[in-house]
Structure 1
């Protein structure tokens, strides 16, 4: 971690951070954010640049960014302070454990941008987008809420498409891969993919009303 990230983490974690392993009982976003507003869950926020940009452009919703790597959490907290963002909180740990602690209909949207593709067949069971996980995420979305996934890994993209299409509680907003939404900032991983001439795949589904 850089000194800047370490400093931000030490100073800002008490007010902005959540350790998922310490959760005891149902997760309450009103307590975490100090207001009742629609909540967007960012699973795997990386260094936080995209999360900070979306939160800054969308002040009426609260953004909860989950990441396992401490430098990313520190970097996002530094961005939160630098840009004066009041609608961002960060959580460390397993995103699925956090989702399990949420009541139904808690989330306005779930973003899964450029998750680890786990390319080897024997590791596919570790992928975040698989039937049981999708059913769990969908159950925590409000009716009409959005599950938005993006990847630059073509085989994973097709697996995602099939998995999301098979969930009976989701409605495909575009009948397959979606046009790139303008509101999704270009991430570090996306820039790398574009440099390598790899296509980007977006999938946007809504929970059935």
Structure 2
């Protein structure tokens, strides 16, 4: 939706999320529908943009707070994380949904910065609103492809940790190549993590958990923090989310994997 056009709403007060190639916000005042454009190769992506409604509250948070706490992943600059987070150690969170767990982790540990990446416009607005409501100054929201962020916009050894919670499992065999946790991703992310920094993954999809464990165990850049190998107990700092609770009620088993950068 063009910034000059009237803003349409639904009967519930929601506004349509931006569609690919169209813009809900004028330049610099909100997330772009395609921040990297055609500047980088078209490749198989591990994420799929979700078309859903943005509430008026989420849209308001995006308009007011995006210029302060948001950034588009355009691949055209290297971020200064020390400047962005006031010298705090920074953890990258890839895929945060509606942001409730992210906000809770940020509130529980204000000495750590969280750079939270997603492509879901309602979730971006919701997380910004939660950060404002709770007075969180250690959260920044990034819009776009985490691979481009890692490869083009973060310097080596910049991250104190990486979190990938409940990524899309792409359950069909023909789609397994879209899964994020692959050897190539691990090689890239390892270059951006400080020695000893922890990559923390969680999933309730058993076959994906098995793949994660296999590729992480085999990768020379990571060491399992569980002495005997295998999965880790859910650490206290990772909140139990509504999504996770619903899965547990259905009998799903959630696996956490915590691997340190060698």
Mark yes or no: TM-score above 0.5: yes
TM-score normalised by L of structure 1: 0.96
Q: How much does 1:27 deviate?
A: 2.1
Partner of 2:242: 188
Whether 2:66 is the aligned partner of 1:13: answer yes
Partner of residue 29, structure 2: none
Aligned equivalents of 1:9 and 1:187: distance in 2? 23
Unaligned runs of 5+ in 1: none
Distance 2:215 2:242 in 1: 26
Is 1:67 equivalent to 2:121 in the alignment?
no
Task: Check if 1:140 corresponds to 2:169.
Answer: no
Q: What secondary structure, in the 3-state scheme, does the structure 2 residue paired with 1:132 have? A: helix
Q: Give the corresponding residue for 1:177.
A: 231
How much has 1:52 moved relative to structure 2? 0.4
**1:123 and 2:175 matched:** yes
Aligned length: 206
**Equivalence for 1:83:** 134
Asked if the contact 1:64–1:90 (Cα under 8 Å) also holds between the matched residues in 2, the reply is yes
The runs of 4+ residues in structure 1 deviating greater than 6 Å are: none
Q: Would you tell me which structure has more helix in proportion to its own residues?
A: 1
Once the two structures are TM-superposed, the CA of residue 169 in structure 1 deviates from its matched residue by 1.3
Of structures 1 and 2, the one with the larger relative CO (CA 8 A, separation 6+) is: 1
2:71 and 2:115 map into 1 onto residues whose CA distance is 10
- Greater C-alpha Rg: 2
Q: Tell me by how many angstroms 1:200 deviates.
A: 0.4
Q: Deviations over 1:66-122 (max 9, x none)?
A: 001100000000000000000000000001110112111000000000000000111
